[in-house]
Amino acid sequence: MRYISTRGQAPAVSFIDAVLAGMAPDGGLYVPESWPALGAWVREAGIREYASVASVVLQAFAGADLTPKELHTISTRAYGADSRFDTPAVTPLIQLGANHWLLDLARGPSLAFKDIAMQLIAPLYDCALERHDRRLTVVCATSGDTGGAAVEALKRSDRVDLFVLLPKGRVSEVQRRFMTASGGQNVYAVEVAGDFDDCQAIVKSLFADRTFAANAQLSGVNSINWARIVAQSVYFLRTASALCGPGAVDFVVPSGNFGDAFAGHVAKQIGAQIGRIGLATNANDILPRTLQTGRYERAARSHATLSPAMDIQVASNFERLVFEATGRDGSTTASLFQSLSQSGGFDVPDAALAIMRREFAGVASSDERTAQVIAEIHAEYGALICPHTAVGFASFGDEPAWFDHPTVFLATAHPAKFPETVEAATGVKPSLPAHCADLFDRAERIDTLPNDTEAVKRFIQERSRAWS
Ligand SMILES: *Cc1c(COP(=O)(O)O)cnc(C)c1O
């Protein structure tokens, strides 16, 4: 399987190269040259073990890049009996009502759904780096949860040094501690005086400096990384297959960078019976606004909300949907995203917008409604949910049209990651699971840098063991 850029100006590369590079050299994102078909096997995915479904999906996207033995090792390390998920189901499905369900994606080491992809990326990197006897410098910008998941996954990878940029004062204490108190010697948590979009902009300029990127052997694990999308498509596929009767299954996805929701689209492309995907956002509503008005436009500033992992102005993976919905037209996609960087927005072509609206709906919810929903779900089901998960229910929980089919709400983080918000809404303080109960007793290590690419470059150059 070869990977091409959404902007049509970069050479096609292999799966491993697409994963290690993160972004294509023309500024686009990698997508597969064509969609693999999994065929009738998809129907059985719901009754197979998680690791074996992941192995089949990974094989479909990696093609000849990974041997059967490597596929087995990677998927077993990520999701098998000795995995770091605290349940063999990996992503347990909980029935809430006649036609609606909660998919618990927060059972991994850093208590957020980002663990599911990161736990796969770590053995995948190890495998690729060992093969070529290489080291990597991995950088990632985080709105809170990607960083912790990357740290937990990569802190034991000897060939990787990890630099996480987090927005100062914009992540919860539990989120921060997952980045600063891992004990990993190859891990650097760097607070940047700015918001998530500033951190993301710095990471983009690190990659844009080709010399720096080559010297540092730079790689990114942000949600644009193709391996993350592949890994996340597994639970959509497996869940749709488990619940699917004669019709399709709908999903409600708390959304920020549009990686998770796009993974749902990918699962559908490879044969999962998925109907519509609801994009639930907080006040940072670029996705619902785009679906409503047809104009993709960044806001002046991101709003700080109760669901900080979704405090994002620009949904990076949306570029992949634009590429798909324009009939995989790289030159149109390139010119639309050039106007985004030059003038802050673009109009989605009408035909593409119609295609998007058939598959996706978008609703934004306020903090006030989100807090109410945390209380309502607790009162009705006795369950504590995190504020991001609550945005899903706040946005789509009252829309009867969504319950014609089985509807699955994704629970994207553990409530104990946001204890103040959950306790304020319910009066109950969620406790940390046993595997990380000592989080507040561990020593923290963190550096603070100005919102300045050059300062970040110096910091990395001085520390990275991959530097050449
Ligand atoms: C990252 C994150 C999201 C948003 O996911 P995207 O793939 O960026 O759309 C939602 N909820 C939580 C808890 C997250 O960490």
The response to whether residue 258 sits with its C-beta less than 6 Å from ligand 1 reads yes
Spacing, Cα 112 to ligand 1 middle (Å): 8
**Cα–Cα distance between 3 and 19 in angstroms, integer?**
10
Expressed in angstroms and rounded, the spacing between residue 113 Cα and the centre of ligand 1 is 8
Mutational test site, ligand 1, from 310, 389, 421, max ligand atoms within 8 Å of CB: 310
- Residue 5 has a pLDDT of 98
Mean pLDDT calculated for residue range 373-378: 97
Cα-to-centroid distance, 40 and ligand 1 (Å): 31
> Measured from the CB, is residue 453 less than 6 Å from ligand 1?
no
Which amino acid type is present at position 229? I
| pLDDT bracket for residue 391 (50, 70, 90) | very high
418 Cβ below 6 A of ligand 1: no
pLDDT value of residue 172: 86
3-class secondary structure per residue, 225-280 = CHHHHHHHHHHHHHHHHHHCCCCCEEEEEECCCCHHHHHHHHHHHCCCCEEEEEEE
Segment 326-339, tens digit of pLDDT:
999 999 999 999 99
Predicted confidence (pLDDT) per residue in 404-413, tens digit: 789 999 999 9
Quick one: what percent of the chain has pLDDT higher than 90? 86
Is the predicted pLDDT of residue 402 greater than 80, yes or no? no
* CB of 287 closer than 6 angstroms to any ligand 1 atom: no
Question: Counting atoms of ligand 1 from 1, which one is nearest the CA of 413?
Answer: 13
Q: Which atom of ligand 1 is nearest to the CA of 144?
A: 15
Mean of pLDDT over the chain: 95
CB-based contacts of 251: which residues, under 8 Å, 6+ apart?
Answer: 236, 239, 264, 274, 276, 277, 278, 407, 408, 409, 410
Percent pLDDT > 70 in the chain is 100
CA 157 to ligand 1 centroid distance, Å = 24
How do strand 249-254 and strand 407-411 relate by DSSP bridges?
parallel
Q: According to the model, what pLDDT value does residue 445 have?
A: 97
- Residue type (1 letter), 227: A
Structure tokens at 206: 């690190």
Q: What is the largest CA-CA distance in the chain?
A: 59
Secondary structure (3-state) at 6: coil
φ, ψ of residue 332 in degrees (nearest 5):
-65, -45
Is residue 379 pLDDT above 90, yes or no? yes
Q: Which CATH architecture has domain 93-111+226-426?
A: 3-Layer(aba) Sandwich (3.40)
Contacts of 176 (CB under 8 A, 6+ apart): 166, 189, 444, 446
Q: How far is the CA of 67 from the centre of ligand 1 (A)?
A: 31
- For residue 439, how far is its CA from the centre of ligand 1 (angstroms)? 22
Confidence band, pLDDT 50/70/90 cuts, at residue 244: confident
* Residue range 148-187, pLDDT digits in tens: 999 999 999 999 999 999 999 888 899 999 999 999 999 9
The catalytic position among 114, 204, 268, 417 is: 114
In this prediction the pTM is 0.95
- The answer, yes or no, to whether any atom of ligand 1 lies below 6 A from the CB of 309, is yes
Q: 307 pLDDT exceeds 90?
A: yes
| The predicted structure's pLDDT at residue 320 | 98
Tokens found for residue 322: 């634009």
Q: Which tens digit of pLDDT belongs to each residue from 205-228?
A: 998 898 999 999 999 888 889 999
Q: Does residue 387's CB lie within 6 angstroms of at least one atom of ligand 1?
A: no
What are the backbone angles phi and psi of residue 142, rounded to the nearest 5°?
A: -135, 140
**CB-ligand 1 contact for 374 (6 Å cutoff):** no
Q: What residue owns the CA closest to ligand 1's atom 8?
A: 257
Q: How far apart are CA 260 and CA 360, in angstroms?
A: 13
3 state SS of 124: helix
pLDDT, position 208: 86
Strand order in the sheet with 447-449: 218-220, 136-141, 160-167, 187-192, 447-449
CA dist 26 to 166, 188, 275, 369, Å?
Answer: 26, 29, 33, 41
C-beta 260 within 6 A of ligand 1: yes
What CA–CA distance (Å, rounded) separates 253 from 264? 9
Residues with Cβ within 8 Å of residue 112, at least 6 apart in sequence: 105, 106, 145, 148, 149, 309, 412, 413, 414, 417
Atom of ligand 1 nearest to the CA of 254: 10
pLDDT confidence of residue 317: 97
Residue ranges per domain, the chain?
Answer: 93-111+226-426
Active site residue 429: no
Query: Is 320 in contact with 6 (CB distance < 8 Å)?
Result: yes
Handedness of CA 451, 452, 453, 454 (dihedral sign): negative
Among 430, 294, 418, 292, smallest CA distance to 367 is for 418
pLDDT value at residue 86: 95
User: Which segments of 309-465 are extended strands (E)?
Assistant: 345-347, 360-364, 407-411, 447-449
DSSP letter (8 states) at residue 368: H
Radius of gyration of the chain (CA): 20
Question: In a mutational test of the pocket of ligand 1, which residue from 171, 257, 317 has the highest number of ligand atoms less than 8 Å from its CB?
Answer: 257
Which of the four pLDDT bands, split at 50, 70 and 90, describes residue 203?
very high
| Residue 255 in contact with ligand 1 by CB distance below 6 A | yes
Ligand 1 proximity of 148 Cβ (cutoff 6 Å): no
The CB of 324 under 6 Å from ligand 1? The reply is: no
| 54-106: pLDDT as tens digits | 999 999 999 999 999 999 999 999 999 999 999 999 999 999 988 999 999 99
Mean pLDDT of 365-375: 98
pLDDT of residue 30: 97
Q: Ligand 1: distance of its center to the CA of 304 in Å?
A: 15
**Residue 330: in which H helix or E strand, if any?**
helix 330-343
Looking at the CA of residue 259, tell me the nearest atom of ligand 1.
7
Q: Atom 1 in ligand 1: which residue has the minimum CA distance?
A: 309
Residue 28: which pLDDT band, with cuts at 50, 70 and 90? very high
How far apart, in Å, are the Cα atoms of 353 and each of 73, 189, 322?
Answer: 41, 39, 9
